[in-house]
Amino acid sequence: MAAITPPRQVKLDRECELRIEVGENSPLRLRLLNGNAEIFGTEIPPEIWLNFPPRLKFAIFTWHGATIEMDGGSDLSDYVADETPMISYVNVHAILEARRNRAKASASNNAESSQGPRVIVVGPTDSGKSTLSRMLLSWAAKQGWKPTFVDLDIGQGSITLPGCTAATPIEMPIDPVEGIPLEMPLVYFYGHTTPSANVDLYKLVVKELAQTLEKQFSGNAESRAAGMVINTMGWIEGVGYELLLHAIHAFNADVVLVLGQEKLCSMLKDVLKSKPKVDVVKLQKSGGVVSRPPKYRQKSRGYRIREYFYGLANDLSPHSNIANFNDLSVYRIGGGPQAPRSALPIGAEPAADPTRVVTVNISQDLLHLVLAVSYAKDPEEIISSNVAGFIYITDVDIQRRKITYLAPSAGELPSRVLILGTLAWLET
Ligand code: ADP
């Protein structure tokens, strides 16, 4: 445990923010003593002590001034910054707000004019994409909209587990600690934490998600007018760039917010100039964004998986279940690593189809993998079906042909069709 330090007060002037990294070993308590302040777009209530878990990195911003009282361990790190890009971010919000109002006022049978803004946030790793997405969503929810949050960042996953593309309506400003409520998101399983593992499959799960949302929007004028905010991954070079363009097209995005990269912004402006309805806007990266080395990202993927099964504060009780091999059908997508064309005889096509659904024989290889439970009724439907949830394999008994797995709840799985990728976790 870090040493105890007495609570202290921090006075923030208008348009300043208090940037905090909660220590590795001790949580933080804080409360708003006076004024108004928000955490990534969500207002904090006055007087009430709020608890923040170890390692959380965030900022408390005030538009008009505030006093904060903090009570944390000696490993807490914090400082006040008076230079932030918040004004430019809130200006973007105001423009989106005007577009939502316009969409709402327009006749709902006009598909184009009744569509609210479709914003996609792009930029390198650690440029603050998730944070900006959060702010835009929370500010919109505060005004009573229910915008749809789409997360294409398979490396982290803020709606569900890493390795998935997912979407969910945001009905209330996002809780700074709990994050996005895990209730019934629309999830497609990709199964890997980097798109390069299977680029074709990544494109497919992006497209499936976009098409399903399009259908939902066509029957729901309210969410159509509220629009969406799409968070992307930080891979912006080469194939990563192609995938960004693919996502912009798949979701028909009409506002592209580029964080902290001049070059990416000018490339996108250039390639999208044939589409006059698409605005490409460059925004400054906040100096408060903390870079997270690959090790840290890997660790936080593990925390995310743990949170899915056990809850953020160990408040969920997952169930250990046993099934016979025959009760489950396990599939993977893609026929294993593809041979490069250069390694094949002239004229030969690579044999492995990256989007082929392949039956997997249950073996020890499944141990410690996280599998998705698909809504597909048969293997042909797997790629186009969303997933109900996930299980974690804790034992494979070849002799007795039994498999032990952890599931969020007891009882039968919603389906016996399971999908496997390379998403693994070592429970600690
Ligand atoms: P990206 O999505 O581009 O990878 P994030 O938005 O996840 O980046 O930001 C990286 C980290 O920096 C996150 O832990 C986030 O909470 C933190 N962060 C972002 N903005 C600030 C800020 N203004 N002050 C303190 N921490 C911040």
Q: Is the CB of 18 under 6 A from ligand 1?
A: no
SS (H, E, C) the chain: CCCECCCEEEEECCCEEEEEECCCCCCEEEEEEEECCEECCEECCECCCEEECCCCEEEEEECCCEEEEEEEECCCEEEEECCCCHHHHHHHHHHHHHHHHHHHHCCCCCCCCCCCCEEEEECCCCCCHHHHHHHHHHHHHHCCCCCEEEECCCCCCCCCCCCEEEEEECCCCCECCCECCCCCCEEEECCCCCHHHCHHHHHHHHHHHHHHHHHHHHCCHHHHHHCEEEECCCCCCCHHHHHHHHHHHHCCCCEEEEECCHHHHHHHHHHCCCCCCCEEEEECCCCCCCCCCHHHHHHHHHHHHHHHHHCCCCCCCCEEEEEEHHHCEEEEECCCCCCCHHHCCCCCCCCCCCCCEEECCCCHHHCCEEEEEECCCCHHHCCCCCEEEEEEEEEEECCCCEEEEEECCCCCCCCCEEEECCCECCCC
Mean pLDDT of all residues belonging to the chain = 92
Q: Is the CB of 131 under 6 A from ligand 1?
A: yes
Enter the ipTM.
0.99
What distance in angstroms lies between residue 416's CA and the mean position of ligand 1's atoms?
Answer: 38
What is the predicted pLDDT for the residue at 182?
72
The residue nearest atom 11 of ligand 1, judged by CA position, is 290
Residue with the two structure tokens 């506002």: 255
What is the predicted pLDDT for the residue at 109?
73
Which stretches of the chain score pLDDT less than 50? none
The residue nearest atom 7 of ligand 1, judged by CA position, is 130
pLDDT tens-digit series, residues 252-273: 999 999 998 899 999 999 999 9
CA 250 – CA 247 distance, rounded (Å): 5
What is the predicted pLDDT for the residue at 428?
67
What is the predicted pLDDT for the residue at 110?
79
What is the predicted pLDDT for the residue at 214?
96
What is the predicted pLDDT for the residue at 344?
66
What distance in angstroms lies between residue 288's CA and the mean position of ligand 1's atoms?
Answer: 7
Asked whether 85 and 30 are in contact (CB, 8 A), the reply is no
The residue nearest atom 26 of ligand 1, judged by CA position, is 58
What is the predicted pLDDT for the residue at 352?
72
What distance in angstroms lies between residue 292's CA and the mean position of ligand 1's atoms?
Answer: 9
What distance in angstroms lies between residue 282's CA and the mean position of ligand 1's atoms?
Answer: 18
What distance in angstroms lies between residue 372's CA and the mean position of ligand 1's atoms?
Answer: 28
Asked whether 79 and 47 are in contact (CB, 8 A), the reply is no
What is the predicted pLDDT for the residue at 297?
83
CA 186 – CA 165 distance, rounded (Å): 8
The residue nearest atom 9 of ligand 1, judged by CA position, is 128
